[in-house]
Structure 1
Amino acid sequence: MITGAHTIIYAGYAEAARAFFRDVLEFPHVDAGAGWLIFKSPPAELAVHPADPHADGVTELFLMCDDLAATVTQLKAKGVEFTTDITEQRWGSVTTLAVPGAGTIGLYQPKHDTAYDL
């Protein structure tokens, strides 16, 4: 069902951030076009922590799958609420789903090269 995660870091100086992940941390990557690097993430775990609602910072998480329509069907059967319809973007087919008590996250089927299987 879920085949990977696409974590987004917003950076005021994206080239410097990309260079750090590429050159300093030596994360494997693909070039999705025009120098837009997508990095392979190391194995990860997810923790949910309480947060000050007035604190700075934004995090977005997109779960990835091979077949978005089939995955949506499977998740709906488990009671998952989708907050948007599937839309087609240049970079993939995408929707969002509700995480109880935690807002929404994205779910998409990428059209670009992926780095999770490098």
Structure 2
Amino acid sequence: MISGTHVVVYSENPEADRAFFRDVLELPNVDVGGGWLIFGLPPSEVAVHPAEKNDTHELFLMCDDIEAVVARLAEREIACEPVQDQGWGLLTYLTLPGGGRLGVYQPRHERPQNPQ
């Protein structure tokens, strides 16, 4: 059946954002040619939310300790918005070097098991 997911992040400065995922987030990666990096991600989950249009999708990174992540990013001069308690989790946003906005949150909701 499904063996994984592939997320696409569009960027006005892909080289800078690839370096961010590689050097700041330290995600494992492979170069599939010409500096085009594909990053490995930890286990993931998908949620379906109601919407008026079906043309928008979002990417959030998840963590176990949002304050530790924010502090670690601050050490690398990556600013995060103030952490917001959303009930379902603690959420912040950071701005990627290419200008995109990326959410990071510490979930409080139950997590599904990963398929084998």
Identity fraction in percent: 34
1:96 maps to what in 2? 93
CA RMSD of aligned residues (A): 2.8
Residue identity in the other structure for 1:112: H
1:61 maps to what in 2? 59
Instruction: For residue 48 of structure 1, report the CA deviation from its aligned partner.
Output: 3.8
Any conservation in 1 of the 2:11–2:99 contact (CA below 8 Å)?
no
CA 1:65–1:46: 2 relative to 1, 3 Å: same
Q: Secondary structure at the match of 1:60?
A: coil
CA 1:95–1:111: 2 relative to 1, 3 Å: same
CA 1:104–1:47: 2 relative to 1, 3 Å: closer
Q: Give the Cα–Cα distance (whole angstroms) in 2 for the partners of residues 49 and 116 of structure 1.
A: 31
User: Structure 2 regions of 5+ residues with no counterpart?
Assistant: 13-53
Q: Secondary structure at the match of 1:95?
A: strand
1:24-103 matches, cutoff 5 A: 42-44=4-6, 46=8, 48=10, 57-82=55-80, 84-103=81-100
Q: Where in structure 1 do 4 or more consecutive aligned residues deviate above 3 Å?
A: 43-50
Q: Taking structure 1 as the reference length, what is the TM-score of the superposition?
A: 0.50
Residue identity in the other structure for 2:91: V
User: Structure 1 regions of 5+ residues with no counterpart?
Assistant: 1-24, 28-40, 51-55
Q: Secondary structure at the match of 2:98?
A: coil
Q: Give the Cα–Cα distance (whole angstroms) in 2 for the partners of residues 86 and 76 of structure 1.
A: 13
The answer on 1:108 being equivalent to 2:105 is yes
More strand by share: 1
Q: Give the Cα–Cα distance (whole angstroms) in 1 for the partners of residues 9 and 91 of structure 2.
A: 24
Matched length: 74
Q: Secondary structure at the match of 2:59?
A: strand
Which of the pair has the greater relative contact order for Cα pairs under 8 Å at 6+ separation? 1
Any conservation in 1 of the 2:11–2:98 contact (CA below 8 Å)?
no
